[in-house]
Structure 1
Amino acid sequence: MQGVVYSNNKSSSSSSSSASNSKNTASTKNGPNQIGGAKTAQKSQQYFDQPKRGEVDELREILKKHMFDRDEKKKRDLVKKVIAYMTLGIDVSKLFDQMVIVSQTADLVQKKMIYLYLTNYAEQNPDTALMAINTFIKDCDNKDPKVKGLALRSLCSLRFSGSFEYLIPAINKALQDIDPYVRKTAIMGCVKVFYMNPEVIKNKEIIDTLYKMIKDPDALVMQNAICALNEILADEGGIKTYRQMIIHLLNNLKNFNNWGQTIVLQLVAKYTPINEEEMYDIMNLLDERLKQSCISVVLGTIKVFMNFTQNNQKIYNSVFKRVKTPLITLMSSTETTGSFEITYPVLCHINLITSKGGASFFQDDFKQFYCKADEPTYIKFMKLNIISNLANEINIGDIMNELGEYVTDVDSELAKESIRTLGKIACRIQEMATPIIKQLSNFINMKQDYITNNTLVAFQQILRKYPQVFKEIVECIPECFDYATETESKCALLWILGEFSNQITDAPYHLINFISNEQSEHIDVKQTYLVTCIKIFLRTPDEMRDTLGQAFQSFLGKDESIDLKDRAAFFYRAMQDDIEGFKKIMLNEHSNPVEKYCEEKEESEEQTNFDFNTLAVIYKKSQDKFIKPFSYFALQRNKEAAEEKMDEEKQKEEASADAPTQQVAAETPTAAKQNTADLIDMGEEQNHQASNQAQQGNSTPLNLLDMDDGFGAPKLSGLEASDLVLNFSVDPDDYEPAWNSLNEGAVNTKLVNPGVHLTENVVEELFKQHRIYSAAQGEEDDTLKFYLYAKHQSTGNVVYMEFDLNTASRVLSLCTRCANEEIAAFFSKFVLGFLKDKGIIN
């Protein structure tokens, strides 16, 4: 075999020993975490020693010898070693029979590991699954509830259709068990089975049983029953609430932990009280929950209050007043302890309340939201959003002074957000527009680029709504031209220049050198520049004629932006057609400013409907935009089932293709003639049907769009070296950007056979023989790394592959990426195939 060097037995033995010693050192870090049962890293090394030739068979003999041994410690060590091999990707399926026998033990640690083994190999080989199922079914009748629950959980984890006939009886029996742990495990098993086969679980008997278990004496069973029903009935809106259920849950609320209380409160929030008296009773009962330190319980209680009172504005406002103190207390306490990950959700909910009409109840405590030096940036930003909602005519002076201090802070991001906050306040409170814009104009004198850039954007936002305040900043506008360096600030400055050019001295001359290098400017700056030139030209044509002509010549000629060319051509033709009408449109100074665009209105209306105490408040999106529905998972299951079916059919086709060809030759010429005669004797109608069928069978789908999207491409059946382009090359500088732009591919890990020695040159030559070429390669920490590529001839897709070989542990891994994921999968199989043919891996 070319490309692989084998050594004699003596060197192979020493090499195996060296590899084992190296692996012992490498596995010290990962061993204890993967096994979970070792007390020290040194003791765990032995479980991850690399197997020698026949070591799995040797382990099988040891298991046979000690399977009936009373020394549980020795048996546990053997099971640990089996699990260690399994985590390394070594095939230990030979030990299935012995592991089933060893599972008959009272040691719970052994059972957990053995169940992990049985579940893993039962899914890979359904033929042996029956043995595992029988083991689990037997342990479901064990006297120990922990063993019973563990067996049921493992049984529900078997993901193939043949297990359903055993699952349902076991689950039904466990739902009636006297131990709450077993009942809880059975409830979660219902959810697992539901995601594999919804029709099996969605029958009236199981659903009714789960509803009855909401009144279970154990709180943990109750909360799991609620969660399971919400999952199973998600497409119907979740669990249906009724009065007796809510009363039972509220009376037992103190028995739940914080997580259980949150689940119950979510359910109570969906309930509608039958009258006002019941509403007050529930609210009084839950009032003490506002004093808890758990954020989810406090927010869940607030959600109940808001949902109950949303149709009564007076009581609704009283709720805002009542929840103010708990929220501020929760925010302050988490800040004191440094739990900013809890502070942020609290601030997000306060921001939501203040934006939904509750700002007046928090305005007296606006100083609580001042930024502190040790707070993260995201906390400071959220506090500034809240301050912009709380600003009014009374506290605006203190807020302006505080925000002014932030602008001079060393934190540039805080300074930028403070300027934006001042702009928001000015747009919201008309009376404060003048003093705020005066304060913003003072920031220009600092002559800092990032301050000037954000101040110009704030100017633009304020002037769009209140153009009459421009006289307050007219003198500072010429000073801004040297400090506007960002795209957004340049556009804002150009807009101000074009909109108020009649009030700015020498406005036309400021545009002459504004765009120094046209090619480097952003398209938005060019478009705004063109509109500004036209507006100034319409007011002072003599002074702007040359500048506007150069702009048209540049944008209509050499500029590469089609959008800019079309816009410039539109303006040019409009000016030629009717200059007066065009002037009336462009200089319409009497139109009312638009406060919100249609998209912003829809977003704000959607924001008011956010579910309180959900991630929708954090993401500022409705839940259906980031939570995948049940139909998505159903589609994924159908896709996986279809792929499995295709794989089975492919295996059958391969098996039939390998059958002896002599059977085909055994057909007699007489039979062939008879078939021909039958075809000739067919009637005219039958001939027509046969012709149509032949045409349909020979036709291939057409790619009408002539695009390389695979719509009309034939399905691939495999990949060979002849399917790849010979001597194809990729620029090494383009490799990393192309690799990062593709989706992450699956990683295949294999163990290199003992006695095989691979060097950098040998591996490169081996891949080159199969038309796979290297863009970069090298050795780092006993690992050979290769960055490979190849091009598929028929589709033109380039396949990228990262190939790693740890020479110490002899572990080989490869990751393949391609725009066509089907080709990537076939490419991985192709590489593993010729590595196996060369005897490098099994």
Structure 2
Amino acid sequence: MGDAKYFQRGKIQELRQELATDKKDVKFTRKKTAMKKIVANMTMGNDMSPLFTDVISCMQIPVLEVKKMVYLYLIHYAKSKPDMAVMAVNSFVRDASDTNPLIRALAIRTMSYINVDKIIDQLADPLHHCLKDSDPYVKKTAAVCVGKLDMHDPHLVEREGFLDSVRELLNDSNATVVANAVAILSEIAERSERFELTIDTSMANKLMTAINDCNEWCQVYLLEALLFHTPQESTDAELLAERVVPRLQHANSAVVLSSVKAILYLANYIQKEETVNSLYRKLAPPLVTLLHNGPEVQYVALRNILLIIQKKPDFLKGEMKVFFCKYNDPIYVKMAKLEIIIRLANENNVEQVLSELREYSSEVDVDFVRKSVRSIGRCAIKIEQAADRCIQTLVELIRTKVNYVVQEAIVVIKDIFRKYPNRYESIIATLCENLDSLDESEAKASMIWIIGQYADRIENAHDLLDSFLEPFKEEPPEVQLSLLTAIVKLFIKRPTAGQELVPKVLKWATEDIDNPELRDRAFIYWRMLSTDPVAAKQIVLSEKPPISTETDNLDPDFLDDLLLYVSSLSSIYHKLPTAFIGGIKPRRLHHSRALNPMRKVAPLDQFESNKG
């Protein structure tokens, strides 16, 4: 059974008796067993707080296993019984100077967990000693305690000068101590307005030296710290980037992505475009390798790759096949891969891409099929030479008569018509054969736009629009707006065909509909048609703004900011942390001689404060 026997509801009185002093229990076996029962009951949610005084008395027992359980108990109940928790202060202080480094570290770690003012006040003196302890484990734990203490009482941390003590640990000979110190300083710097962390070139190189002696998670901390270094010379950034490159081969995906982030950051301070391109080429193989991991790691890698290819579209050229979807990929991975496939599509591989997308369009997952059909339309808009082939593929899909496929195809064909006017009108008849299958607002609005745009070439445009007009008052706003504009276009192009529909739709839109956008547009059309038909024709039939897949790209400045958060939630959400985390400072590139002039930098006053 092992420890399962302890997970039984224990009676308070019986446990109290087991914790009582017993001269025969020389090795404290009985008390150890009692503490295991208490911790097991805590885990099950049973209230063990009446034993508080009895458990505190066990702090004197010189057995590490018992102390761990007592400390766990205190952390659990200190918030509900702060007055009684104070009784343990003297024992904590005594343990903080114990000869056993594990007990010293355990004592200050537990004190930092208990958010009781008197205990926090008593923590300062032992913490000072532990930050200068001879044992690396104690120093590492003390550094982490400073981070916790800063969340409880930042003014105490500032008053006692703990941050300076932690900064001194950056020069420690033990790599784990250095990594934990830099992790705590980075965390405090990101949320504190009163503290700025700056790492000079000498310290950055020391961190890169320490990285070889660290475990994988400490390596992540050290790589993250490079973002607090502002290279003053391009050569410094180049040398640091080259020292980071070997980490790209690491087996741990977090180390790989942190290395990618550090290299992307340092690339901003490298003047030679050839060197920057070389670094980007070195990023490609490790990122592709991440796609051979589990689906969760794949998804994180794909979302980060999507950011990077917007910055450097050709850094993954030739790697198209690794993004093709597998039958057993989860839907979220397939969707992420589709987005990248479209961005990597070009004249040379478009045939291969279209073949894949056509195959995806026969899958069983409806959302995936929709995205695949829409991707075919994006291919046509992006690559003019492939437009004919894309249209042919979409027409084939429409003829399958699968409802959601037909609707999605019509939506993307509308965009293709806008991109290439007067080029593919021959397929309008095929589209009109499928009007009965349109039950989604976006598909309806797209079909109505096509009919209105080509009303002079569709003989029965009047009847088609009239059939859409019957449920006009119940339609969603986007369908109503599209129908209003289409009927006005019909009237302008063929007055006799549209003269019955125009007054009807204008009356409904201005008198029976509450939507202000629809009502205002109807009034504008009504006044233009009644006062100046020539101006109405020029406005309604004016040349449409160009449509492009470039509109899917992130704003360049916003993208530069996001690339400072590669391997974090921001790179998955494609939102800055300030959008979903409170009290965090945004990262910015800081000014230096080496900074590429095209990069956005932090305000000068912020830079001046950093220099201090």
Match of 2:590 in 1: none
Residue by residue over 1:22-42, the C-alpha shift from the partner in whole angstroms, topping out at 9 and shown as x without a partner, is xxxxxxxxxxxxxxxx8243x
The one-letter code of the counterpart of 2:351 is G
Q: Please tell me whether residue 199 in structure 1 is matched to residue 155 in structure 2.
A: yes
Tell me how far apart the structure 2 counterparts of residues 86 and 294 of structure 1 sit (CA, whole Å): 35
The one-letter code of the counterpart of 2:208 is L
Match of 1:267 in 2: 225
Match of 1:300 in 2: 258
Match of 1:593 in 2: 546
Tell me how far apart the structure 2 counterparts of residues 369 and 600 of structure 1 sit (CA, whole Å): 19
Match of 1:213 in 2: 169
SS at 1:502's partner residue?
coil
| TM-score, with length taken from structure 1 | 0.64
Q: Please tell me whether residue 161 in structure 1 is matched to residue 121 in structure 2.
A: no
Match of 1:321 in 2: 281
Residue by residue over 1:57-114, the C-alpha shift from the partner in whole angstroms, topping out at 9 and shown as x without a partner, is 5654554454984352321233344445656766654433322222211233322222
Q: Give, in angstroms, the shift of residue 320 of structure 1.
A: 2.2
Tell me how far apart the structure 2 counterparts of residues 67 and 476 of structure 1 sit (CA, whole Å): 95
Residue by residue over 1:253-303, the C-alpha shift from the partner in whole angstroms, topping out at 9 and shown as x without a partner, is 210111111221222344344545444443443332222222222233333
Residue by residue over 1:447-487, the C-alpha shift from the partner in whole angstroms, topping out at 9 and shown as x without a partner, is 11111111111112222232232335333231231222211
Question: Unpaired segments of 5 or more residues in structure 2?
Answer: 587-612
Q: Give, in angstroms, the shift of residue 373 of structure 1.
A: 1.0
Residue by residue over 1:374-415, the C-alpha shift from the partner in whole angstroms, topping out at 9 and shown as x without a partner, is 111222222222221222222212222222222233343332
Q: Please tell me whether residue 291 in structure 1 is matched to residue 240 in structure 2.
A: no
The one-letter code of the counterpart of 2:62 is A
Closer, same or farther: CA 495–608 of 1 in aligned 2, 3 Å? farther
Which region of structure 1 is more displaced relative to structure 2, 606-615 or 571-580? 571-580
Contact kept in structure 2, 1:122 and 1:132, CA below 8 Å: no
Q: Please tell me whether residue 309 in structure 1 is matched to residue 272 in structure 2.
A: no
Give the CA RMSD over aligned residues.
2.9
1:591-630 alignment to 2 at 5 Å? Answer: 591-593=544-546, 595=548, 603=555, 605-610=557-562, 611=564, 612-630=566-584
Tell me how far apart the structure 2 counterparts of residues 130 and 400 of structure 1 sit (CA, whole Å): 70
Query: Pick from 118, 122, 143: which aligns with 2:74?
Result: 118
SS at 1:70's partner residue?
coil
Tell me how far apart the structure 2 counterparts of residues 293 and 87 of structure 1 sit (CA, whole Å): 35
The one-letter code of the counterpart of 2:277 is N
Match of 1:456 in 2: 410
Greater fraction of residues in strand: 1
Tell me how far apart the structure 1 counterparts of residues 146 and 316 of structure 2 sit (CA, whole Å): 46
Closer, same or farther: CA 618–543 of 1 in aligned 2, 3 Å? same
Tell me how far apart the structure 2 counterparts of residues 94 and 510 of structure 1 sit (CA, whole Å): 79
Contact kept in structure 1, 2:410 and 2:443, CA below 8 Å: yes
Contact kept in structure 2, 1:443 and 1:455, CA below 8 Å: yes
Q: Please tell me whether residue 535 in structure 1 is matched to residue 489 in structure 2.
A: yes
SS at 1:534's partner residue?
helix
Tell me how far apart the structure 1 counterparts of residues 354 and 45 of structure 2 sit (CA, whole Å): 64
1:188-587 alignment to 2 at 5 Å? Answer: 188-203=144-159, 205-234=161-190, 235=192, 238-310=196-268, 311-331=271-291, 333-334=292-293, 339-359=294-314, 361-518=315-472, 520-559=474-513, 561=515, 563-587=517-541
Match of 1:650 in 2: none
Tell me how far apart the structure 1 counterparts of residues 469 and 23 of structure 2 sit (CA, whole Å): 84
Tell me how far apart the structure 2 counterparts of residues 449 and 393 of structure 1 sit (CA, whole Å): 31
Contact kept in structure 2, 1:293 and 1:330, CA below 8 Å: no
Tell me how far apart the structure 2 counterparts of residues 271 and 199 of structure 1 sit (CA, whole Å): 26
Closer, same or farther: CA 309–100 of 1 in aligned 2, 3 Å? closer
Tell me how far apart the structure 1 counterparts of residues 473 and 451 of structure 2 sit (CA, whole Å): 22
Tell me how far apart the structure 1 counterparts of residues 547 and 472 of structure 2 sit (CA, whole Å): 31
Contact kept in structure 2, 1:219 and 1:255, CA below 8 Å: yes
The one-letter code of the counterpart of 1:211 is R
Tell me how far apart the structure 2 counterparts of residues 191 and 481 of structure 1 sit (CA, whole Å): 64
Closer, same or farther: CA 443–88 of 1 in aligned 2, 3 Å? closer
Higher gyration radius (CA)? 1
Q: Please tell me whether residue 137 in structure 1 is matched to residue 90 in structure 2.
A: no
Q: Give, in angstroms, the shift of residue 168 of structure 1.
A: 0.7
SS at 2:142's partner residue?
helix
Closer, same or farther: CA 196–571 of 1 in aligned 2, 3 Å? same
Residue by residue over 1:187-237, the C-alpha shift from the partner in whole angstroms, topping out at 9 and shown as x without a partner, is 111111111111111247322211111122222211110111112222357
Tell me how far apart the structure 1 counterparts of residues 277 and 44 of structure 2 sit (CA, whole Å): 61
Greater fraction of residues in helix: 2
Tell me how far apart the structure 2 counterparts of residues 468 and 143 of structure 1 sit (CA, whole Å): 87
SS at 1:575's partner residue?
helix
Contact kept in structure 2, 1:607 and 1:621, CA below 8 Å: no
Tell me how far apart the structure 2 counterparts of residues 193 and 369 of structure 1 sit (CA, whole Å): 46
Tell me how far apart the structure 2 counterparts of residues 548 and 570 of structure 1 sit (CA, whole Å): 13
Closer, same or farther: CA 326–118 of 1 in aligned 2, 3 Å? closer
SS at 2:483's partner residue?
helix
Q: Give, in angstroms, the shift of residue 169 of structure 1.
A: 0.5
Closer, same or farther: CA 276–95 of 1 in aligned 2, 3 Å? closer
Q: Give, in angstroms, the shift of residue 322 of structure 1.
A: 2.5
Question: Unpaired segments of 5 or more residues in structure 1?
Answer: 1-37, 633-842
Identity rate, percent: 29
The one-letter code of the counterpart of 2:406 is T
